[in-house]
Amino acid sequence: MAALQEMFNVRGRSVIVTGGASGIGRAYAEVMADNGARVCIFDRDAGNLDVVVKELQRDGADVWGQALDVSDRAGMAAAFDAVAERHGRIDVVFANAGIDAGPGFLSTTGERIPEGAIDVLDDDHWDRVIEVNLTSVYTTVKHAARHMKATGGGRIIVTSSIAAQINEAIVGTPYMPAKAGVDHFVRQMAMELGAFGILINCISPGPFMTNIAGGRLKIPLDRKAFEAQSLIGRIGDTEDIKGLALYLASPCSSYVTGSQIVIDGGAMHRIA
């Protein structure tokens, strides 16, 4: 048992979670804190961030937060430096922050959605989705690598999506190319950063009950459609992702890098 605990040991590790005040990001922060890591949560929602930090601190966790938008590049550099100064190093980074891309061009019942069509797609909306869902991953990895190179290595875990690997008419068009870019970027970074002891991998969720999908899952027809994608007949809960997050952050995954690990209840087999 002691050997197993050591394989998954993250006690004392310095951890950053972007977009960690809700959804999958919160699950990452919780599992790291529950297992003794020192965690800093980045989130643009200052109010929710404060609530989550206080809840975790009440359980005795070493957790604090920094309120910022991941698209603020100067702010991200300063936030990483603040964590390194407070913790002495940065060991694990979860690049998780993301936003919804709105409706696709079809509803779950197959009806056309005018505002989801490419010819009327708002340019600013496209730019914002790409900025948060792709470019912020570059910014996060850039500063993670800067600090991890100085201390001999670390782990970077990026939240992608099965949307990177499929075509899905009910999802907003900018979302898929953003996540596909994330997957390719992670593979490229694995090639570059492995020599420095930095391992980088993707977690690729399918249908999950998160703040991004939550609005659509309140619509009965949409919820039923997402549930039908899973081979086990349900939508993923954020608790389902904690074990995978712990695995990728721990010594247990010391020979894993450049991977896209799908956690989707078998949805990709159904969709394919």
CB proximity list for 163: less than 8 A, separation 6 or greater: 171, 175, 176, 179
- Model pLDDT, residue 224: 75
**Which pair of tokens denotes residue 56?**
């975790």
With pLDDT > 70 as the criterion, what percentage of the chain qualifies?
93
CA angle 147, 151, 155 (to 5 degrees): 70
Catalytic residues: 175
**Cα–Cα dist 67/50, whole Å:** 9
The region that residue 217 occupies, defined by phi over 0 for left and psi between -120 and 50 for alpha, beta otherwise, is: alpha
**Cα–Cα dist 145/142, whole Å:** 5
pTM: 0.93
Does residue 98 carry a pLDDT above 90? yes
Does residue 221 carry a pLDDT above 70? no
H helix or E strand, kind and range, residue 65: strand 62-67
Q: One-letter amino acid identity for 55?
A: E
CA angle 176, 211, 230 (to 5 degrees): 65
Please identify which residue in the block is written with the tokens 């201390």: 151
**Which pair of tokens denotes residue 247?**
């695995």
**Which pair of tokens denotes residue 124?**
């600013």
- Model pLDDT, residue 66: 99
- Model pLDDT, residue 219: 57
Q: Which of 225, 233, 240 is nearest to 266 (CA)?
A: 233
Does residue 222 carry a pLDDT above 90? no
**Which pair of tokens denotes residue 171?**
């999802």
**Cα–Cα dist 171/189, whole Å:** 27
Stretch 137-166: mean pLDDT: 97
Q: What is the pLDDT of residues 3-13, one digit of tens each?
A: 888 899 999 99
Four-residue CA torsion sign, 170, 175, 180, 186:
negative
Secondary structure of residue 231 in the 3-state scheme: coil
Q: What is the pLDDT of residues 129-146, one digit of tens each?
A: 999 999 999 999 999 999
Q: Which of 14, 131, 27, 123 is nearest to 70 (CA)?
A: 131
Instruction: Domains for the chain: give ranges and CATH numbers.
Output: 10-271 (3.40.50.720)
Q: What is the pLDDT of residues 37-51, one digit of tens each?
A: 999 999 999 999 999
Q: One-letter amino acid identity for 189?
A: M
User: How confident is residue 229, by pLDDT bands cut at 50, 70 and 90?
Assistant: confident
Q: What is the pLDDT of residues 165-203, one digit of tens each?
A: 988 888 899 999 999 999 999 999 999 999 999 999 999
Can you give the length of the chain in residues? 272
**Cα–Cα dist 214/152, whole Å:** 39
